[in-house]
Amino acid sequence: MTPVIVGLIALVVGVAVGFVVRAALARTSARAIEQQAATRAERRLAEAEQEAAVTLRSALEQAKAESAAIRREAEEDVRARRDEVARLERRIAQAEDELRSRTKRLEEREHELEERDRRLAHVREQLEAATREHRARLERIAQMTSQEAREELVAQVVDEAKRAAMAQVREIEQQAREQGEERARKILTVAIQRVAAEQTTESSVSVFTLPSEDMKGRIIGREGRNIRAFEATTGVNLIIDDTPEAVVLSCFDPVRREAARLTLTKLVEDGRIHPARIEEVHERSLRELEERIRRAGEDAVAEVGITDIHPEMVRLLGRLQYRTSYGQNVLKHLVESAHIAGALAAELGVDPTIAKRGAFLHDIGKGVTHEVEGSHALIGAEIARRMGEAAEVVHCIESHHGEVEQRTVDAVLAQIADAISGGRPGARRESLETYVKRLERLEEICTGFEGVEKVFAMQAGREVRVMVRPEAVDDLAAQVIARDIAKRVEEELQYPGQIKITVVREMRATEIAR
């Protein structure tokens, strides 16, 4: 072998020996490290076991303390519940004793009542027997059956009851009249005296005064062409008769009649009267009349103090300036009714807003009644509803003549204001035929009562004197007759204001001296 190879082998062997030595040292070091780690692990385990033991002992001690506290609380609760149960048992025992005592007393009371019932039954049988014997004896003495006697007694008792009731009613009425008359008089007087409105005469014609008699010929025109053109344009009949310096305009529509009057006034003032001029002047008169209507409605609204009202409603109110009812101007009647309703509401302590507005608009339907079929109250209510009025105001309008039942105080006040305005003396007039029929029916109602001898209608039907036969009607019966007549008159007649019923019972004794 060459020295190089030997050197290489020695080098390899040296390296291998070095590796073996280092491996042995590494194993030795690893075992030492493992032993140190095991020692540290055993020490940490021992420390953990000690800490766990300490913690466990502390938890056990705390658990024992909590258990003891819970046990003490449970024992105290048990003792309290036992005491409560004992008290309840004592109360139940007392209640049972009291119940047994009451039951015993009730049984004794029941025995007493049974004994009393037996005694009462025996007494009742004795009384019935005595009553039958007494009734038979009375029937033999009076020669009248029990049924006849009962009927006579009932009639006597009913008559006495009527008399007593009538006397009591008269006394109550007197008290109510004394207490309420002054208050009612004050309220109505205050409401009426605040309003004074002039009245006009209801008519379907207007008399137009001419400056001279020659103007009639110019109005008639050649072969009557002017008068024919005037009637065709205005829709109003023009009556020319022998009345000096006057012609008559006749039409059922007051607005149309007023437009014709304005047209004729302008034609007479201008002097030029022919068909074309008539049409021109009539158109201008219509515009002027429309302005007057609007202004009249605005004046009425301002006078009443109402501002938030529909313009179309204002126009309808203005049309009522030319409408009358039984001689009373409808627009002035509405203004008067509004003031009266406001005064009544103020006197009664009620908010006058709704009542005043309802009274002011209650006859708004009369502005279109000749154009629409139906009651003016219902027509006016529909118009107000369409114009956005409140439901309370609509109810005042529709119920002021009884077509709809009144449900509010405001509706009642509106109706009362309407009646006061229309019923006060001088406010309205009736046609002669209606007046005569009402008086005839009034006398017929009074004559239909038994015992009435004569009937006199006085003061234009506002008072009736009823003369009764004194031998057939006594004083209390006269009072009853007066009340019955008043009730029938209220039910069967329609009239403004009130009617006073006076029953006169006059006893006359007449002897002849010879």
How far is residue 256's CA from residue 232's CA, in Å, rounded to a whole number? 12
| 470 band by pLDDT with thresholds 50, 70 and 90 | confident
CB proximity list for 393: less than 8 A, separation 6 or greater: 354, 357, 358, 361, 384
Residue 499: per-residue pLDDT: 84
Q: Can you tell me whether residue 180 is helix, strand or coil?
A: helix
Least confident of 131-135, 350-354, 392-396, 495-499: 495-499
> Dihedrals φ, ψ of 234, to 5°?
-90, -20
Looking at every residue in the chain, the average pLDDT score rounds to: 80
The yes-or-no verdict on residue 368 having pLDDT over 80 is no
| 186 band by pLDDT with thresholds 50, 70 and 90 | low
Residue 184: per-residue pLDDT: 64
**Do residues 501 and 486 touch, judged by C-beta distance below 8 A?**
yes
Tokens (6 digits) for 188: 């109505």
How far is residue 388's CA from residue 396's CA, in Å, rounded to a whole number? 14
Tokens (6 digits) for 160: 């006495």
Q: How many CB atoms lie within 10 A of CB 443?
A: 17
Which tens digits make up the pLDDT trace of 4-31?
Answer: 677 777 777 777 777 777 777 777 877 8
| 320 band by pLDDT with thresholds 50, 70 and 90 | confident
The yes-or-no verdict on residue 282 having pLDDT over 60 is yes
The yes-or-no verdict on residue 200 having pLDDT over 50 is no
Least confident of 11-15, 57-61, 183-187, 274-278: 183-187
The yes-or-no verdict on residue 197 having pLDDT over 50 is no
Distances (CA, A) of 451 to 161, 481, 483, 506: 21, 9, 15, 13
When comparing pLDDT for 176 and 231, which is higher? 231
How far is residue 135's CA from residue 129's CA, in Å, rounded to a whole number? 10
| 199 band by pLDDT with thresholds 50, 70 and 90 | very low
How far is residue 514's CA from residue 499's CA, in Å, rounded to a whole number? 47
Q: How many residues does the chain have?
A: 514
Residue 41: per-residue pLDDT: 81
When comparing pLDDT for 198 and 448, which is higher? 448
The yes-or-no verdict on residue 72 having pLDDT over 70 is yes
State the Cα torsion 193-195-198-199 to the nearest 10°: -90
What DSSP designation does 462 have?
A: T
When comparing pLDDT for 102 and 167, which is higher? 102
Among 331, 340, 497, 335, residue whose Cα is nearest residue 413? 340
Residue pointed to by tokens 């007493």: 112
Distances (CA, A) of 168 to 161, 245, 371, 484: 10, 69, 54, 17
Helices H, strands E: what count in the chain?
14, 8
Prediction pTM value: 0.46
The yes-or-no verdict on residue 77 having pLDDT over 70 is yes
**Do residues 263 and 285 touch, judged by C-beta distance below 8 A?**
yes
**Do residues 297 and 398 touch, judged by C-beta distance below 8 A?**
no
**Long-range pairs, 55-63, Cβ under 8 A, ≥24:** none
pLDDT > 70 fraction of the chain, expressed in percent and rounded: 86
Environment class of residue 385 by beta-carbon count within 10 Å: exposed (0-12), middle (13-18) or buried (19+)?
middle
Residue 459: per-residue pLDDT: 67
User: Of 145-154, 250-259, 394-403, which one has max mean pLDDT?
Assistant: 394-403
Mean pLDDT of 193-218: 64
Mean pLDDT of 179-193: 60
Tokens (6 digits) for 223: 């072969």
Residue pointed to by tokens 């004994």: 115
Which tens digits make up the pLDDT trace of 416-459?
Answer: 888 887 765 555 544 555 666 777 788 888 888 888 888 887 76
How far is residue 343's CA from residue 357's CA, in Å, rounded to a whole number? 13
The yes-or-no verdict on residue 373 having pLDDT over 70 is no
Which tens digits make up the pLDDT trace of 215-245?
Answer: 888 888 888 888 888 888 888 888 887 777 7
